[in-house]
Amino acid sequence: MSPNQLRTSASDPHTAPQADSHIRRRRHAAPGRPNWVRRAGLVGGVVSAIALGGSAAPALADNTDTTPAHTPAHGIPAVTPADLAASLSTAVSAEDAAAAIDQAAADLSLDAAKDQAVAAAAKEAAATKKKADEKAAAEAKAAKAAQEARERAAAQAAASRSAERTTLSTAATSAPSPSATPSPSPSSTPSSDSTVTSTATGSAGKLISFLKSQIGKPYVYGATGPDSYDCSGLTQVAYATVGVDLPRTSQEQSNVGTPVSVSDVQPGDLIFWGGQGSAYHVGVYIGDGQYLDAANPSTPVAIHPMSDYMPDWAVRVL
Protein backbone atom coordinates (compact mmCIF):
# COMPACT_ATOMS: atom_id res chain seq x y z
CA MET A 1 0.00 0.00 0.00
CA SER A 2 1.43 3.38 -0.98
CA PRO A 3 1.81 6.33 1.34
CA ASN A 4 -0.99 8.07 -0.37
CA GLN A 5 -3.26 5.16 0.17
CA LEU A 6 -2.36 5.09 3.84
CA ARG A 7 -3.11 8.76 4.21
CA THR A 8 -6.37 8.29 2.34
CA SER A 9 -7.35 5.46 4.59
CA ALA A 10 -6.49 7.37 7.68
CA SER A 11 -8.49 10.34 6.54
CA ASP A 12 -11.46 8.31 5.39
CA PRO A 13 -13.99 8.24 8.14
CA HIS A 14 -15.29 4.88 7.02
CA THR A 15 -11.97 3.13 7.01
CA ALA A 16 -10.29 4.73 10.04
CA PRO A 17 -12.30 2.91 12.68
CA GLN A 18 -11.45 -0.40 11.09
CA ALA A 19 -7.75 0.35 11.34
CA ASP A 20 -8.10 1.43 14.95
CA SER A 21 -10.11 -1.63 15.71
CA HIS A 22 -7.45 -3.80 14.14
CA ILE A 23 -4.75 -2.13 16.13
CA ARG A 24 -6.72 -2.49 19.38
CA ARG A 25 -7.30 -6.16 18.70
CA ARG A 26 -3.57 -6.72 18.31
CA ARG A 27 -2.96 -4.88 21.57
CA HIS A 28 -5.51 -7.09 23.36
CA ALA A 29 -3.88 -10.17 21.88
CA ALA A 30 -0.77 -9.52 24.01
CA PRO A 31 -1.10 -11.35 27.32
CA GLY A 32 -1.92 -9.29 30.42
CA ARG A 33 -1.24 -10.55 33.96
CA PRO A 34 -0.76 -14.40 33.71
CA ASN A 35 -3.31 -16.76 35.13
CA TRP A 36 -1.92 -18.38 38.38
CA VAL A 37 -3.81 -21.57 37.80
CA ARG A 38 -2.24 -22.13 34.40
CA ARG A 39 1.17 -21.04 35.61
CA ALA A 40 1.29 -23.08 38.85
CA GLY A 41 3.15 -25.95 37.23
CA LEU A 42 5.99 -23.64 36.25
CA VAL A 43 6.66 -22.12 39.69
CA GLY A 44 8.72 -25.03 40.99
CA GLY A 45 10.91 -25.11 37.92
CA VAL A 46 11.39 -21.35 37.96
CA VAL A 47 12.34 -21.31 41.65
CA SER A 48 14.84 -24.11 41.04
CA ALA A 49 16.33 -22.24 38.10
CA ILE A 50 16.68 -19.08 40.18
CA ALA A 51 18.32 -21.04 43.02
CA LEU A 52 20.83 -22.67 40.63
CA GLY A 53 21.81 -19.55 38.70
CA GLY A 54 21.77 -16.17 40.41
CA SER A 55 22.46 -14.43 37.09
CA ALA A 56 19.15 -15.43 35.55
CA ALA A 57 17.25 -12.63 37.29
CA PRO A 58 19.41 -9.77 35.85
CA ALA A 59 19.21 -11.31 32.37
CA LEU A 60 15.45 -11.46 32.57
CA ALA A 61 15.36 -7.91 33.87
CA ASP A 62 17.31 -6.73 30.80
CA ASN A 63 14.88 -8.50 28.45
CA THR A 64 12.01 -6.57 30.01
CA ASP A 65 13.00 -3.45 28.19
CA THR A 66 13.76 -5.03 24.78
CA THR A 67 11.55 -8.11 24.39
CA PRO A 68 7.79 -7.66 24.16
CA ALA A 69 5.48 -10.10 25.92
CA HIS A 70 4.26 -12.86 23.65
CA THR A 71 2.54 -16.18 23.78
CA PRO A 72 4.75 -19.20 22.94
CA ALA A 73 3.72 -21.59 20.26
CA HIS A 74 2.76 -24.30 22.72
CA GLY A 75 0.01 -22.05 24.19
CA ILE A 76 1.36 -21.50 27.75
CA PRO A 77 1.68 -17.82 28.70
CA ALA A 78 5.21 -16.51 29.12
CA VAL A 79 6.54 -15.85 32.66
CA THR A 80 7.68 -12.28 33.27
CA PRO A 81 10.22 -11.15 35.93
CA ALA A 82 7.37 -9.59 37.93
CA ASP A 83 5.63 -12.97 37.96
CA LEU A 84 8.85 -14.62 39.17
CA ALA A 85 9.21 -12.09 41.97
CA ALA A 86 5.60 -12.67 43.05
CA SER A 87 6.13 -16.43 42.95
CA LEU A 88 9.30 -16.19 45.06
CA SER A 89 7.51 -13.92 47.54
CA THR A 90 4.67 -16.42 47.83
CA ALA A 91 7.13 -19.30 48.36
CA VAL A 92 9.03 -17.38 51.04
CA SER A 93 5.76 -16.49 52.79
CA ALA A 94 4.70 -20.16 52.78
CA GLU A 95 8.09 -21.17 54.13
CA ASP A 96 7.82 -18.57 56.91
CA ALA A 97 4.32 -19.80 57.77
CA ALA A 98 5.54 -23.39 57.94
CA ALA A 99 8.45 -22.31 60.13
CA ALA A 100 6.07 -20.40 62.41
CA ILE A 101 3.83 -23.46 62.71
CA ASP A 102 6.83 -25.64 63.53
CA GLN A 103 7.99 -23.13 66.16
CA ALA A 104 4.51 -22.99 67.71
CA ALA A 105 4.40 -26.78 67.86
CA ALA A 106 7.85 -26.84 69.47
CA ASP A 107 6.74 -24.23 72.03
CA LEU A 108 3.63 -26.25 72.88
CA SER A 109 5.73 -29.40 73.27
CA LEU A 110 8.17 -27.53 75.54
CA ASP A 111 5.30 -26.19 77.67
CA ALA A 112 3.86 -29.69 78.01
CA ALA A 113 7.27 -31.03 79.03
CA LYS A 114 7.60 -28.26 81.62
CA ASP A 115 4.14 -29.05 83.03
CA GLN A 116 5.04 -32.74 83.26
CA ALA A 117 8.32 -31.89 85.00
CA VAL A 118 6.56 -29.65 87.53
CA ALA A 119 3.95 -32.34 88.25
CA ALA A 120 6.65 -34.98 88.66
CA ALA A 121 8.64 -32.72 91.00
CA ALA A 122 5.55 -32.01 93.11
CA LYS A 123 4.78 -35.72 93.34
CA GLU A 124 8.34 -36.52 94.33
CA ALA A 125 8.33 -33.75 96.95
CA ALA A 126 5.10 -35.11 98.44
CA ALA A 127 6.55 -38.62 98.59
CA THR A 128 9.74 -37.30 100.21
CA LYS A 129 7.75 -35.39 102.83
CA LYS A 130 5.66 -38.45 103.59
CA LYS A 131 8.79 -40.55 104.09
CA ALA A 132 10.29 -37.85 106.32
CA ASP A 133 7.11 -37.69 108.44
CA GLU A 134 7.02 -41.47 108.79
CA LYS A 135 10.70 -41.53 109.76
CA ALA A 136 10.18 -38.78 112.36
CA ALA A 137 7.20 -40.63 113.84
CA ALA A 138 9.19 -43.88 114.02
CA GLU A 139 12.13 -42.10 115.67
CA ALA A 140 9.82 -40.47 118.22
CA LYS A 141 8.24 -43.83 118.99
CA ALA A 142 11.65 -45.47 119.35
CA ALA A 143 12.85 -42.64 121.61
CA LYS A 144 9.79 -43.04 123.82
CA ALA A 145 10.29 -46.80 124.04
CA ALA A 146 13.97 -46.29 124.88
CA GLN A 147 13.08 -43.80 127.62
CA GLU A 148 10.58 -46.23 129.12
CA ALA A 149 13.18 -49.00 128.98
CA ARG A 150 15.72 -46.78 130.75
CA GLU A 151 13.21 -45.95 133.46
CA ARG A 152 12.43 -49.62 134.01
CA ALA A 153 16.12 -50.47 134.10
CA ALA A 154 16.74 -47.69 136.62
CA ALA A 155 13.95 -48.98 138.84
CA GLN A 156 15.28 -52.52 138.66
CA ALA A 157 18.80 -51.31 139.39
CA ALA A 158 17.58 -49.41 142.43
CA ALA A 159 15.79 -52.49 143.73
CA SER A 160 18.90 -54.59 143.10
CA ARG A 161 21.10 -52.11 144.97
CA SER A 162 18.69 -52.19 147.87
CA ALA A 163 18.88 -55.98 147.97
CA GLU A 164 22.68 -55.88 147.81
CA ARG A 165 22.88 -53.38 150.64
CA THR A 166 20.62 -55.58 152.73
CA THR A 167 22.82 -58.60 152.02
CA LEU A 168 25.95 -56.69 152.99
CA SER A 169 24.30 -55.45 156.15
CA THR A 170 23.36 -58.99 157.12
CA ALA A 171 26.88 -60.23 156.47
CA ALA A 172 28.36 -57.42 158.52
CA THR A 173 26.01 -58.16 161.40
CA SER A 174 26.75 -61.88 161.44
CA ALA A 175 30.54 -61.51 161.06
CA PRO A 176 32.63 -60.87 164.20
CA SER A 177 34.01 -57.37 164.43
CA PRO A 178 37.82 -57.23 164.73
CA SER A 179 37.59 -54.18 166.95
CA ALA A 180 35.12 -55.74 169.36
CA THR A 181 36.36 -56.35 172.88
CA PRO A 182 34.86 -58.26 175.78
CA SER A 183 34.45 -54.98 177.61
CA PRO A 184 31.13 -54.84 179.44
CA SER A 185 30.62 -51.25 178.35
CA PRO A 186 27.08 -50.87 176.93
CA SER A 187 28.35 -48.58 174.19
CA SER A 188 30.62 -51.25 172.69
CA THR A 189 28.39 -54.32 172.92
CA PRO A 190 25.24 -55.16 170.92
CA SER A 191 21.89 -54.99 172.65
CA SER A 192 20.74 -58.24 174.17
CA ASP A 193 17.29 -59.72 173.84
CA SER A 194 16.53 -58.76 177.41
CA THR A 195 17.48 -55.13 176.70
CA VAL A 196 15.13 -54.96 173.70
CA THR A 197 12.35 -56.66 175.59
CA SER A 198 12.72 -54.40 178.59
CA THR A 199 12.71 -51.31 176.33
CA ALA A 200 9.55 -52.36 174.47
CA THR A 201 6.69 -53.02 176.82
CA GLY A 202 3.08 -53.92 176.35
CA SER A 203 1.95 -54.47 172.78
CA ALA A 204 5.31 -53.39 171.36
CA GLY A 205 7.13 -55.94 173.54
CA LYS A 206 4.80 -58.73 172.48
CA LEU A 207 5.17 -57.72 168.81
CA ILE A 208 8.98 -57.72 168.98
CA SER A 209 9.05 -61.06 170.78
CA PHE A 210 7.04 -62.64 167.97
CA LEU A 211 9.28 -61.08 165.31
CA LYS A 212 12.43 -62.39 166.96
CA SER A 213 10.93 -65.85 167.07
CA GLN A 214 10.80 -65.80 163.26
CA ILE A 215 14.52 -65.04 162.78
CA GLY A 216 16.19 -67.39 160.30
CA LYS A 217 13.06 -68.25 158.33
CA PRO A 218 13.56 -67.83 154.56
CA TYR A 219 12.28 -65.02 152.40
CA VAL A 220 9.74 -66.16 149.80
CA TYR A 221 7.94 -63.61 147.68
CA GLY A 222 4.20 -63.56 148.51
CA ALA A 223 4.58 -65.79 151.60
CA THR A 224 2.79 -64.94 154.87
CA GLY A 225 4.16 -67.69 157.15
CA PRO A 226 4.38 -69.64 159.19
CA ASP A 227 7.50 -71.17 157.55
CA SER A 228 8.51 -68.29 155.20
CA TYR A 229 7.69 -64.63 154.62
CA ASP A 230 8.15 -61.66 152.38
CA CYS A 231 8.61 -58.22 153.97
CA SER A 232 4.95 -57.14 154.19
CA GLY A 233 3.76 -60.69 154.92
CA LEU A 234 5.95 -60.75 158.06
CA THR A 235 4.71 -57.36 159.33
CA GLN A 236 1.07 -58.25 158.63
CA VAL A 237 1.27 -61.48 160.63
CA ALA A 238 3.32 -59.88 163.43
CA TYR A 239 0.95 -56.97 164.00
CA ALA A 240 -2.02 -59.32 163.92
CA THR A 241 -0.64 -60.91 167.14
CA VAL A 242 -1.27 -57.60 168.95
CA GLY A 243 -4.65 -56.95 167.36
CA VAL A 244 -3.60 -54.58 164.54
CA ASP A 245 -4.97 -55.50 161.11
CA LEU A 246 -2.57 -54.29 158.40
CA PRO A 247 -3.12 -54.41 154.63
CA ARG A 248 -1.19 -56.99 152.61
CA THR A 249 1.41 -54.97 150.67
CA SER A 250 4.07 -52.46 151.71
CA GLN A 251 2.46 -49.80 149.51
CA GLU A 252 -0.86 -50.20 151.32
CA GLN A 253 0.75 -50.43 154.78
CA SER A 254 2.52 -47.10 154.20
CA ASN A 255 -0.89 -45.38 154.14
CA VAL A 256 -1.98 -46.42 157.66
CA GLY A 257 -1.06 -44.99 161.06
CA THR A 258 0.65 -41.72 161.88
CA PRO A 259 3.79 -40.71 159.95
CA VAL A 260 6.81 -39.95 162.15
CA SER A 261 10.38 -38.87 161.52
CA VAL A 262 13.09 -41.53 161.41
CA SER A 263 14.87 -39.68 164.20
CA ASP A 264 11.77 -40.07 166.43
CA VAL A 265 11.04 -43.76 165.89
CA GLN A 266 10.06 -45.97 168.81
CA PRO A 267 10.10 -49.77 169.15
CA GLY A 268 7.15 -51.21 167.25
CA ASP A 269 7.04 -48.49 164.58
CA LEU A 270 6.87 -49.51 160.93
CA ILE A 271 9.77 -48.17 158.84
CA PHE A 272 9.61 -47.77 155.05
CA TRP A 273 11.84 -47.37 152.02
CA GLY A 274 10.14 -45.40 149.26
CA GLY A 275 7.35 -42.85 149.33
CA GLN A 276 3.99 -42.96 151.01
CA GLY A 277 1.70 -45.12 148.92
CA SER A 278 4.65 -46.32 146.82
CA ALA A 279 6.96 -47.94 149.40
CA TYR A 280 8.91 -50.91 148.05
CA HIS A 281 10.12 -52.33 151.42
CA VAL A 282 8.95 -52.40 155.07
CA GLY A 283 10.46 -53.48 158.37
CA VAL A 284 9.89 -52.97 162.14
CA TYR A 285 12.06 -50.84 164.42
CA ILE A 286 12.92 -52.90 167.52
CA GLY A 287 15.00 -50.34 169.45
CA ASP A 288 18.68 -49.52 169.97
CA GLY A 289 19.09 -48.39 166.35
CA GLN A 290 18.07 -51.76 164.93
CA TYR A 291 15.28 -53.09 162.82
CA LEU A 292 14.00 -56.55 161.87
CA ASP A 293 12.72 -57.53 158.44
CA ALA A 294 12.46 -60.18 155.71
CA ALA A 295 14.77 -58.56 153.17
CA ASN A 296 15.20 -60.67 150.02
CA PRO A 297 15.58 -64.26 148.78
CA SER A 298 19.28 -64.31 149.70
CA THR A 299 18.66 -63.06 153.24
CA PRO A 300 16.38 -64.77 155.81
CA VAL A 301 14.48 -62.93 158.54
CA ALA A 302 17.13 -61.05 160.54
CA ILE A 303 18.06 -57.98 162.63
CA HIS A 304 20.10 -55.17 161.00
CA PRO A 305 21.67 -51.88 162.13
CA MET A 306 19.45 -49.13 160.83
CA SER A 307 22.53 -47.00 160.03
CA ASP A 308 23.60 -49.50 157.36
CA TYR A 309 20.42 -49.07 155.37
CA MET A 310 18.60 -45.98 156.61
CA PRO A 311 14.85 -45.97 155.94
CA ASP A 312 13.12 -42.99 154.37
CA TRP A 313 10.39 -42.53 156.96
CA ALA A 314 8.26 -44.31 159.59
CA VAL A 315 4.65 -44.87 160.72
CA ARG A 316 3.34 -45.42 164.22
CA VAL A 317 0.41 -47.83 164.54
CA LEU A 318 0.59 -48.85 168.22
What pLDDT score was predicted for residue 152?
Answer: 74
For the chain, how big is the Rg over CA atoms in Å?
64
What pLDDT score was predicted for residue 234?
Answer: 98
**For residues 285 and 288, what is the distance between their CA atoms, to the nearest angstrom?**
9
**For residues 64 and 49, what is the distance between their CA atoms, to the nearest angstrom?**
18
What pLDDT score was predicted for residue 287?
Answer: 96
Amino acid at 304: H
Average pLDDT, rounded, for the chain: 74
What pLDDT score was predicted for residue 66?
Answer: 47
CB of 226 within 8 A of CB of 302? no
**For residues 104 and 108, what is the distance between their CA atoms, to the nearest angstrom?**
6
CA angle 124, 128, 132 (to 5 degrees): 170
- Average pLDDT for 184-197: 36
Compare 314 and 43 and report the one with higher pLDDT: 314
**Percentage of residues of the chain with pLDDT beyond 70:** 57
What pLDDT score was predicted for residue 141?
Answer: 84
- Cα–Cα distance list, 216 to 126, 174, 222, 297 (Å): 71, 12, 17, 12
- pLDDT of 197 strictly over 80: no
- pLDDT of 34 strictly over 60: no
**Percentage of residues of the chain with pLDDT beyond 90:** 40
Kindly give, in sequence order, each residue whose CB lies less than 8 Å from that of residue 238, ignoring residues fewer than 6 positions away. 207, 210, 211, 214, 284
Compare 232 and 103 and report the one with higher pLDDT: 232
Kindly give, in sequence order, each residue whose CB lies less than 8 Å from that of residue 81, ignoring residues fewer than 6 positions away. 57, 60, 61, 64
pTM: 0.41
Dihedrals phi, psi of 53, to nearest 5 degrees: -130, 105
Domains, the chain: 3-89 (no CATH), 199-316 (3.90.1720.10)
Type and span of the H or E element at 292: strand 290-293
Dihedrals phi, psi of 216, to nearest 5 degrees: 95, -15
Can you tell me whether residue 260 is helix, strand or coil?
strand
Compare 39 and 316 and report the one with higher pLDDT: 316
What pLDDT score was predicted for residue 298?
Answer: 94
Compare 88 and 134 and report the one with higher pLDDT: 134
Least confident range of 30-44, 76-90, 293-307: 30-44
Q: CB atoms < 10 A from the CB of 237, how many?
A: 18
CB of 170 within 8 A of CB of 299? yes
**For residues 152 and 79, what is the distance between their CA atoms, to the nearest angstrom?**
107
Kindly give, in sequence order, each residue whose CB lies less than 8 Å from that of residue 107, ignoring residues fewer than 6 positions away. none
What pLDDT score was predicted for residue 167?
Answer: 52
pLDDT tens, residue by residue, 54-68: 444 444 444 444 444
CB of 244 within 8 A of CB of 317? yes
- pLDDT of 279 strictly over 90: yes
CA torsion sign for 153, 159, 162, 163 is: negative
- pLDDT of 37 strictly over 60: no
- pLDDT of 183 strictly over 60: no
Could you tell me which residues are beta bridge partners of residue 291?
285, 304
- pLDDT of 23 strictly over 70: no
CB of 257 within 8 A of CB of 316? yes
CB of 260 within 8 A of CB of 278? no
Compare 271 and 190 and report the one with higher pLDDT: 271
